[in-house]
Amino acid sequence: MTKVTFHNDPVTLLGTQVTVGDTASEFSVLANDLSEVKLSDSKGKVRLISVIPSIDTGVCSVQTRKFNEAAASLGEDVQILTVSVDLPFAQARWSAAEGIDAVQTVSDHRDLSFGEAYGTIIQELRLLTRSIFVIDKDDKVTYVEYVSEVTDHPDYDKALSAVKELTK
């Protein structure tokens, strides 16, 4: 079990944590227009799933912008999702204001389906812990990072290298 802190205080993660080599679990989240988005919708693509606690915070904003900027160099066979429990309306507002056009922000607020399937629910806060998952075209998990301190940045370079390795 991964140990995670929030402002250096330990938190409890709920759900099933995943490891490299696992088959990626299906999930159901909401797009900004309230339509359902599932992992299977992007079958046949490499997926980078960037998980953040809240889009309206500094590190989360930077994380989403960095992956949006990187998307142009990754090609058409890569889909990047940013998952949080923010309401779809807040995600849409933030994305429009920030010019986010290559990353799809999706909300897990309704059922915590993603959080449960990937072990990212912070029990004490009902937020998702900062984490990154890379899933190949055949739904195998090839990269996992649960960031040990929620307020820290993930390793952007390692995550993007994992994606590029799958698109060679």
Quickly count: other Cβ atoms within 10 Å of residue 44's Cβ: 10
Q: Contact 59/81 with Cβ under 8 angstroms?
A: no
Tokens coding 137: 């075209």
Q: What gap in Å lies between CA 34 and CA 108, rounded to an integer? A: 11
Q: Specify whether 121 is catalytic.
A: no
Catalytic residue among 60, 71, 134, 159: 60
Tokens coding 63: 């994380």
As annotated, the active-site residues are 60
